[in-house]
Amino acid sequence: MRSNGFSSCLADAFEQFVAWRCAGSGDFASQAARLHRFDRFLARSVSDPSEIDREVLGEYLASMARLAPSSKTGLVCVVWQALRYAARHGVALPPLPERPRFPRRTVVRPHIFSPEEIDRLLGAARDLGPSDSLRPETFFTLFALLVTTGIRIGEALAMDIGDIDFEGASLRIRRGKFGKSRIVPLHPTTVEALRTYMGRRLAAHGTDLGSAPFFSTLCKTRLAHRTVHGTYRELIERARISTPGGGLPRIHDLRHTFAVRRLLDWYGRGIDVNERLAALSTYLGHVDVSSTLVYLRPNEETLREAAKRFQHRCPLPIPAGEGSRDR
């Protein structure tokens, strides 16, 4: 048994893979635990990498039959990544089949906010009461930050004053999903908005300790998820924003909106989206690009831009005679 817990015939490759992912993704503990589960299965099932074929992988997938689709996806994702890593680094493995997919039982279609809806949402936040308190500025700045950076609501609420580098125009996410940390570059206008809020926050609460919560309540405590979700619902109803089905958009849809708007911006500037997806994935704090693609499901605007690009690259021929009739 090795000190890192890996004991199968792929122990060395798995150890190197985890070290590589930790170097690039910060905390990789949850994904490493999933890989340990697969390693234990291999230790019981095979003695040589050449035996890890479709049949063995099929047995592993069958052992996960009772898990939820999301749990299966998390396990298979890290296992397939580790096997590809091992193959690229000289381990003689049989050809790896395509990674299986496990569709979620219910797929929630995200609401992509229009610029006008964003304006109405932020306007409603400005109109919150008490008018002479910090509350309107707190929620305006919070939701504006979600719109302009795409960070998760939990990441925003966990922000401390010391996490913002005003001079370096960046935000340090210390408690992201799966415990991963990252640095998020900020647009100059976002920096100025945060600086303005910071000044008013100091005037109202009188503390600038680096460990103090950046977004705080009237009682000078950190904003709670329940409070934020309740206020968000109030703002959405005031702004008269609803999904095509008549429901209320989720806070998480602001993150989807950021990702889609970034994609549309790249389309509009003629940038190769495929080359930028890895950067967007890192910015959003995803483990891999496949997680980012969930945010980029086709919608009316992206399909329209894709059609324009296709028409530009592959213009349809004009039937003979039609051109003369139009002159």
The pTM for the full model equals 0.62
Q: Whole-angstrom Cα distance, residue 38 to residue 239?
A: 49
Catalytic residue among 60, 85, 232, 295: 295
Q: Which residue type is seen at 151?
A: I
258 in Cβ contact with 265 (< 8 Å): no
Confidence grade of residue 108 (pLDDT, cut at 50, 70, 90): confident
Is 205 considered catalytic here? no
CA dist 66 to 78, 103, 104, Å? Answer: 19, 15, 14
- Partners of 171 in beta bridges: 164, 184
Give the pLDDT of residue 284: 81
User: pLDDT tens digits for 9-48?
Assistant: 999 999 999 988 887 655 677 888 999 999 999 999 999 9
User: pLDDT tens digits for 192-206?
Assistant: 999 999 999 988 887
Coil, helix or strand at residue 261 = helix
Residue appearing with tokens 């949850």: 30
* pLDDT > 90 in the chain, percent: 54
- Per the model's pLDDT, the better-predicted residue between 190 and 22 turns out to be 190
Catalytic residue among 21, 120, 180, 286: 286
Sign of the dihedral through C-alpha 211, 215, 216, 222:
negative
Closest to 251 in 3D by CA, of 75, 102, 108, 68: 108
Phi, psi of 216 (to 5 degrees): -135, 165
pLDDT(70) > 50: yes
Catalytic residue among 21, 180, 255, 256: 255
Is 327 considered catalytic here? no
Give the pLDDT of residue 179: 60
- Per the model's pLDDT, the better-predicted residue between 168 and 22 turns out to be 168
Catalytic residue among 40, 72, 182, 252: 252
User: pLDDT tens digits for 236-262?
Assistant: 999 999 998 889 999 999 998 998 888
Q: Whole-angstrom Cα distance, residue 129 to residue 217?
A: 13
Catalytic residue among 84, 177, 205, 222: 177
17, HSE (Cβ side, Cα atoms, 13 Å): 27
Sequence-separated (6 or more) residues with CB below 8 Å from residue 97: 54, 57
Q: Whole-angstrom Cα distance, residue 25 to residue 304?
A: 34
CA 197 to chain centroid, in Å, comes to 26
Q: Whole-angstrom Cα distance, residue 314 to residue 241?
A: 38
254, HSE (Cβ side, Cα atoms, 13 Å): 25
Token pair in block for residue 9: 């015939």
Is 111 considered catalytic here? no
Is 195 considered catalytic here? no
Token pair in block for residue 201: 């926050």
Closest to 308 in 3D by CA, of 276, 270, 273, 280: 270
Q: Whole-angstrom Cα distance, residue 52 to residue 39?
A: 12
Q: Which of 104-108, 120-124, 202-206 has the lowest mean pLDDT?
A: 104-108
Complete DSSP assignment for 293-324: HGGG---HHHHHHHHHHHHHHSPPPPPTTHHH
Q: Whole-angstrom Cα distance, residue 96 to residue 213?
A: 47
Give the pLDDT of residue 305: 53
Q: Whole-angstrom Cα distance, residue 6 to residue 14?
A: 7
Is 177 considered catalytic here? yes
Compute the average pLDDT of residues 168-180.
78
Catalytic residue among 21, 152, 250, 261: 152
Give the pLDDT of residue 288: 64
Is 182 considered catalytic here? no
Phi, psi of 36 (to 5 degrees): -60, -40
Closest to 272 in 3D by CA, of 303, 110, 280: 280
pLDDT(298) > 70: no
Complete DSSP assignment for 182-230: EEEE--HHHHHHHHHHHHHHHHHH----TTSBSSB-TTSSBPPHHHHHH
pLDDT(163) > 70: yes
Sequence-separated (6 or more) residues with CB below 8 Å from residue 262: 150, 280
